[in-house]
Amino acid sequence: MPKLIDETAMPRAWLRKRKRDEYYRAAKRTGYRSRAAYKLRQIVEKFNLIREGDTVLDLGAAPGGWSQVAKEIVGEAGTVLAVDRVRIRDMEGISIMTLDLETDGAVERLKEWAGGTVDVVLSDMSPKLSGNRSMDHALSVHLSGMALAVADQVLRKGGKAVTKVFQGDMYNDYLDSVRKRFSFVKGHRPKATISESAEMYVIAKGFRG
């Protein structure tokens, strides 16, 4: 299994390497707030995950790269709702909420905010890594399960979702829980994923409701 890495807490040598990374440089050049924006672009291109006019809920959205990509795709006719427990700087055309999903009533607040169901749920949520592979994997699965629980409540029938989860001994169990809810489920590593990372993106389409 690839070693788990945390892009937010790395030594200077790694940070220097990142600055040479093609996606990091491209994000700086194009105005995306993170290199992760290119992961979502590649996922959408391969799986047709988001369409013009969709309503998209982006969980754990900070700093906002995924929300920027989603807004480009949904256009003026669509809506992007970005939520994170940390404050996100304003983004043109994107609605933002600061909310901890683990607080009481969080899902109800999301449903009210969305004004009904949404077409797509995105989650690039990641735990702050401790260096203990088993613990970090478990925390990742917990966050992915939380995103799935939100999707249960806010996603329209036939809707789509993508969640990030670290590979490990609970990965297949998580896939099984997604398969119970969606007609199409596939694990995918976009090209923009750092080679040392254990992250996997679970693509899900055809929400059964």
Q: Mean pLDDT in the chain?
A: 88
Cα dihedral sign for 5, 6, 9, 13?
positive
pLDDT (0 to 100) of residue 20? 56
Is position 6 within any domain?
no
Over residues 151-158, the mean pLDDT reads 97
pTM of the shown model = 0.87
- Which range among 2-11, 70-79, 98-107 shows the weakest confidence by mean pLDDT? 2-11
Query: For residue 126, what are the domain limits?
Result: 12-207
- Which range among 54-63, 90-99, 144-153, 191-200 shows the weakest confidence by mean pLDDT? 191-200
- Which range among 3-17, 50-64, 154-168 shows the weakest confidence by mean pLDDT? 3-17
Is position 5 within any domain?
no
pLDDT (0 to 100) of residue 131? 80
Total of domains in the chain: 1
Task: Give CA–CA dist 198/92, Å, rounded.
Answer: 33
Q: Is 186 tagged catalytic? A: no
Active-site annotation holder among 164, 180, 191, 205: 164
pLDDT (0 to 100) of residue 18? 53
Q: Which tokens in the block code for residue 168?
A: 């490990």
pLDDT digits (tens, 9 = 90+) for 25-71: 766 667 687 888 999 999 999 999 999 999 999 999 999 999 999 99
- Which range among 24-28, 49-53, 103-107, 140-144 shows the weakest confidence by mean pLDDT? 24-28
Residue 179 belongs to a domain with what CATH number? 3.40.50.150
Task: Give CA–CA dist 29/52, Å, rounded.
Answer: 25
Is position 54 within any domain?
yes
Is position 124 within any domain?
yes
| Polymer length in residues for the chain | 209
Which residue bears the tokens 């901890």?
A: 100
Is position 4 within any domain?
no
Task: Reply yes or no on whether the pLDDT at 172 is more than 70.
Answer: yes
Is position 172 within any domain?
yes
Is position 199 within any domain?
yes
Task: Give CA–CA dist 93/1, Å, rounded.
Answer: 40
Is position 144 within any domain?
yes
